[in-house]
Amino acid sequence: MSLKMKLNKYQIQVMNGLMLGDGHIHKSKTCKYPLYTQTFGQHGELFAKDVFKIFNDFCTPKGLYTYKVQSGKDSPFYQRFIVRTKTLKIFEKFYNMYYKLNDENKKIKILPSNIKSILTPIALAYFVMSDGNYHKTHKIIRLCTNNFTKEEVNLLSLTLLNKYNFNCRLEHVRKEQYILIIRNVQVTKFQQIVKSYMLPSMLYKIGL
């Protein structure tokens, strides 16, 4: 029965947004089909619960769980929240879209070639909730695209320009890693596009 399950249009858009951010599709050698999983920080409890609720039909009752970790031996414990689905055929599409083998024969995350059709306002909202932030001093929104190549980040930037008229800039953060900057003059427009699809607890990520 589970093999016949399908994601609806909203769930597909949410999944694309999560995958552009910190979401992962994992496929083990022992399982026929992949699963979606994502880790949320201690301030992301409501976000994790929202994602679990959206994909509840594809999770076991234990598909949302939490644990405590330390960043160092004497540091305080802080909370982590995990959402994990069942292994299902419906996630193969996303696995094939977002991963490829590199020259070392390892699976790496990629930006889908059909990014223009993927990047809906809902996907963009879940992207920024998943892996974006607002810089209070510079009053800009940063999309953390570190996992993608410079060419892929350029493609994403071009997509945002062509689809939403955002003239983003790339920022080099470390060796071969780039993030996208929504300029301060366009933050209000960005807010207007995504805020109705965001959780109130996550609006701080776009400066609200």
Asked if residue 95 and residue 119 are part of one domain, the reply reads no
Reported pTM: 0.92
**CATH number, domain with residue 96:** 3.10.28.10
What value does the mean pLDDT of the chain take?
92
Asked if residue 87 and residue 159 are part of one domain, the reply reads no
Read out DSSP for the chain? -GGG----HHHHHHHHHHHHTT-EEE--TT-SS-EEEEEE-TT-HHHHHHHHHHTGGGS-TTSEEEEEEESSTTSPEEEEEEEE----GGGHHHHHHHEEE-TTS-EEE---TTHHHH--HHHHHHHHHHHEEEETTTTEEEE--TTS-HHHHHHHHHHHHHHH----EEEEEETTEEEEEE-GGGHHHHHHHHGGGS-GGGGGGGT-
- pLDDT digits over 104-149, tens only? 888 899 999 999 999 999 999 999 999 999 999 999 999 999 999 9
Do the domain assignments include residue 105?
no
Asked if residue 195 and residue 137 are part of one domain, the reply reads yes
Asked if residue 76 and residue 27 are part of one domain, the reply reads yes
Do the domain assignments include residue 110?
no
Overall number of domains in the chain: 2
- Domain end among 46, 74, 100: 100
Do the domain assignments include residue 109?
no
Q: Which domain, by its residues, includes 93?
A: 2-100
Asked if residue 96 and residue 14 are part of one domain, the reply reads yes
Asked if residue 163 and residue 88 are part of one domain, the reply reads no
- pLDDT digits over 156-197, tens only? 999 999 999 999 999 998 888 999 999 999 999 999 999 999
pLDDT for 145 equals 94
Do the domain assignments include residue 204?
no
